[in-house]
Amino acid sequence: MLKVEHIGIAVRSLSDAIPLYEKLLNTDCYKQEPVDSEAVITAFFKKGETKIELLEATAPESAIAKFIDKKGEGMHHIAFEVADIYAEMERLKGEGFVLLNEQPKKGADNKLICFLHPKGTAGVLIEICQEIR
């Protein structure tokens, strides 16, 4: 894994959360993007090397809506950038981690993504991601 690529935060409303994070981070939201496969709209901020991704559900059955119903707003996942997502998925499977998808999916911000089950990562949802080339 190369670095922390972003930290994902589940929010009820981007229209409420974006101004809050703009004040908190003292920077503007640089992009909003829907991810239909995950039924979310994302909003991104960048501080130094790390990004903050806010996630708002667009459907009640989405993972983000279920997360907020169960735990409330807050940190949802940590994403790590990898050089080769396919090789890293194989390595992680070999180490005994449970992947939540068998093939990488297209995520926000021009990334291929894969999530690891939090039961095998001390309760933290981990995303690995690679820039689409």
Burial class of residue 33 (count of CB atoms within 10 Å of its CB; 0-12, 13-18, 19+): middle
Q: What is the pLDDT of residues 64-75, one digit of tens each?
A: 999 999 999 999
- The pLDDT profile of the chain, 133 residues, written as one tens digit per residue, is 899 999 999 999 999 999 999 999 999 999 999 999 999 999 999 999 999 999 999 999 999 999 999 999 999 999 999 999 999 999 999 999 999 999 999 999 999 999 999 999 999 999 999 999 8
* CA–CA dist 51, 39 (Å, integer): 20
Contacts of 103 (CB under 8 A, 6+ apart): none
The pLDDT score that the predictor gives to residue 99 is: 98
Task: Record the pTM.
Answer: 0.94
